Amino acid sequence: MIIPEKLKRGDEIRIIAPSRSASILSVEGVQIAKEKLENLGFVVSFGKHVFDKDLQHSTSIQQRVEDLHEAFRDENVKGILTVIGGFNSNELLPYINYEIIKENPKIFCGYSDITAIGTAISTQSGLVTYSGPHFSSFQMKKAQEYQTHFFTQCLMQGAPFELKPSEQWSDDAWYLDQENRIFEKTEWKTYNGGIASGELWGGNLCTLNLLQGTKYMPSIENAILFVEDDDMTIPETFARDLTSLLQNTDSIKALIIGRFQRASKITEEQLLFILDKHPMLKEIPVLYNVDFGHTQPMFTFPIGGEIQVDASKCLLKLVRF
C-alpha cells in the first residue's frame, strides 16, 4: 500500500463534497471549522461545487468527480477532507480515474458514507486513506481536543503510536447545541482477549457492505476489521450486516467495534448476543465501545494501514499509516 506524505503546517487542505454538500452547514459552522483548521497551521480551500445542492442536498456525479479529480491533480493541495457523510458516495466509484489518484497520492479523510469512496480509492489505487473527522466535525467545540490530537498524530507524523480511549464521550446533537452537552465516562471493553497484528480495513459497516460483489470490495482475509454504524441501524440490521461481512472470509485476525449511538438500541446485552452467534469471534481478539463512528469524540485510523491489537489490555497501536 502507498502511504501518502504526511501533512505539515502551511499545507493546503482541499474541502470536497463527494456525498452531501456543504449547503446543509450553517455559515457560522463553516467559518468555525475553517478557523479550527487554520489554527492548526493549514490553508483551507474549497472545491468548485462544494456549496451547490440538488434535490437530495448533494450534487451531480459529474460535479463531485470533477472536484475529487481536481483536488488530487492540484500540486498545491496536500490533503483532502470531505464536508460530511450522506448516502451516495458509492455513485462515484465507476467514474473515478484511479490513475490520477495513484499518480498524485495524498491524504484523503472522512467517515460514515465516505467509507465507500475511501475504500474504493484504497483498493483501486493502492493508496492508504483515512477514516476520521469530516471538515464539518471541526465545528464541534467540546471533545474537540481528543479528536484533533489523534487527527494530527495520524496525519502529521509517521512514528507508531497507541490509540488511547477518550476520557469521556457524548451522543448528543452537538451541532444543534454546543453548550448543553451530556458526557459519560469512556470504557473500551473486551469481548475476547488476544493479540493480533495486520492490515486494517473497515469503517461504516452498512456502507462497506455496499461494495460486496464489486471490484471495489477489499479482500478482508486475515485482516483486522474496524466496524461501526449510526443511529439508523437496529440490533437486527447490525446483526445481518455483520454476518454478511464475516461471510466474505474464512478468517479475520481481529474485530474492533465502534461505540453505538443510543437511538440504535444496540445495548451491551444486544451486542453480546449478536457476537455470541459467531464461533469465529470466540477465537480472535474482539474489542467494542471504541472511540470511532458516530459518537464523539473519534480517533483517525488508516484504511489499508497496519495495526497491532492487544484486546486483553484494550490496546491499539498504529504501525504503518
Query: Does the active-site annotation cover 228?
Result: yes
Which stretches within the chain are classed as H helix? Answer: 27-39, 61-73, 98-103, 114-125, 144-156, 205-208, 235-246, 268-275
Question: In this structure, is the dihedral angle defined by the CA atoms of residues 313, 189, 176 and 110, taken in order, positive or negative?
Answer: positive
Catalytic residue among 89, 122, 199, 294: 294
Please state, in angstroms and rounded to a whole number, the distance separating the CA atoms of residues 224 and 199: 6
Query: Does the active-site annotation cover 45?
Result: no
Query: Does the active-site annotation cover 137?
Result: no
Please state, in angstroms and rounded to a whole number, the distance separating the CA atoms of residues 123 and 98: 10
Catalytic residue among 19, 21, 112, 122: 112
Catalytic residue among 122, 228, 264, 306: 228
> In this structure, what DSSP letter does residue 301 have?
E
Q: Are 147 and 269 in contact (CB under 8 A)?
A: no
Length of the chain: 321
Please state, in angstroms and rounded to a whole number, the distance separating the CA atoms of residues 92 and 64: 8
Residues with active-site annotation? 112, 228, 294
